[in-house]
Amino acid sequence: MRASLSPRWRRLLVRGAVATATAAGTLLATGPAQATHATQAAQGTQGPQDTSRGGLQEVLLVGNNWEGTADVIESSGDFAKVGRIGLVPDKEERLREIYANPVKLAYFLGIRLTVGEGHDQYTDDMYTTPDGSAVVVSRPSFADVVSIDTATGRVNWRFPVAGYRSDHMAVSPDGSRVAVSASTGNTVHVLDIRTGEQVGSFKTGDKPHENVFTRDGEIWNMAIGEVNNALDAPWLDGLKGDRRITVADADTFEVVRTIDLRERLDAYGQSDKSDAIRPVAFTPDESKMYFQVSFFNGFFEYDVADDEITRMKTLPKNPDTSDDRTTYVNDSRHHGMSMNPAGTKLCVAGTMDEYVTVVDRDTLEEGPLVPAAKPYWATVSGDGKACVISESAADQVTAIDFATGRKIKSVPVGDHPQRVRVAHLPKGWTSPSAG
């Protein structure tokens, strides 16, 4: 349940509520601009890049983690609902396999009791194939990646990952390959998005999480270490595991370098900050990376060429948010970042502080604090004008205007939305009956 806000916090948030209707009316009146995704690979929110392909419509997929569905909404404009795809049509078969294997069952129940917050995790990340005929989804509780036919709702192929849990994915700039983190197997698998065949893999630090394909032919993986225990005091940080960035060649899958952010944070004078990287956002030219870390209400700027942290931004604390680190969901005080196509604005989800804000990248000044119920992800609308966040505690997604930092509108979705991705489906697509 979402805690009621104190009068003091309401005053801090008031500028996020003022003029919302005006901002929404202005944006909607202009109509959606031509979509562009030239920077999505750099944002960690990659999708097929060509939006002019005949026979396809651009949409947003909203993954409802605890429900095992993806809501399909328009990618810009009024974000109207288009349909829904069921992502666990083989649920009974998978559960029979799990309950017949004591080790698999132990991990399945462990996911439910820890990272799942008492729920099974059926949907983590999703991308469509270039022709829109299938949606490929990672399913943590089933430790797999599957392809679901968008016309029939049936499983095309299934790939079990190493270990017992699948996590974040990323799609290559040409849309042909998908990388998935096997979070208990310390492995990233790279699959052919059409066939599900593994084309390569590489090892990572403990608990690989976020993946990003870069335009210059690399895959960046961020290992977050152990986030499901109560060893959250700073002096126990060494027990959180091997946390590092692993950079692999996207063609050979050879690890070309690793980046230990503990050393970079210490050099920047922030030895008390965790080096467990959460979501990231690259600038359009990929010269800078912005990243969140566990327990911190803010983010850092990292210069890729100079291999050093250059700036830190601390965002406001919600006075109603406990300072007890063990109360943060999976160690995430803030979890969710995206950047507008021009590279001038960052959208930041303040998960435990229950707001979202747009930050000017030049000055690092934050805009209005828009109230949000446990926002867990941030992506960019199809026309590049809005940041779209998932409000996991309110079962809705909300669009925020990059220009004004004001809320445009919210759209109800399924149970516990998390990942939101730009996708493509055939024009005239309707929900499959099997979904």
CA atoms of 73 and 61, how far apart (whole Å)? 7
Using alpha carbons, select from 350, 396, 392, 426 the residue that is nearest to residue 124: 392
> Average pLDDT over the chain, rounded to whole?
88
pLDDT of residue 328: 87
pLDDT of residue 50: 40
Q: Which two tokens stand for residue 108?
A: 């399945």
Average pLDDT over residues 393-417: 97
Domains of the chain, CATH where assigned:
7-426 (2.130.10.10)
pLDDT bracket for residue 48 (50, 70, 90): very low
9-18, 24-33, 236-245, 297-306: segment of lowest average pLDDT: 24-33
pLDDT bracket for residue 196 (50, 70, 90): very high
Distance of CA 226 to the CA centre of its chain: 18
Average pLDDT over residues 362-372: 98
* pLDDT tens, position by position, 88-110: 999 999 999 999 999 999 999 99
Q: Give the neighbor-by-neighbor strand order of the sheet with 166-171.
A: 166-171, 177-182, 187-192, 198-203
pLDDT of residue 275: 93
Q: Per-residue pLDDT for 4 more than 70?
A: no
Q: Per-residue pLDDT for 344 more than 80?
A: yes
pLDDT bracket for residue 20 (50, 70, 90): very low
CA atoms of 80 and 87, how far apart (whole Å)? 21
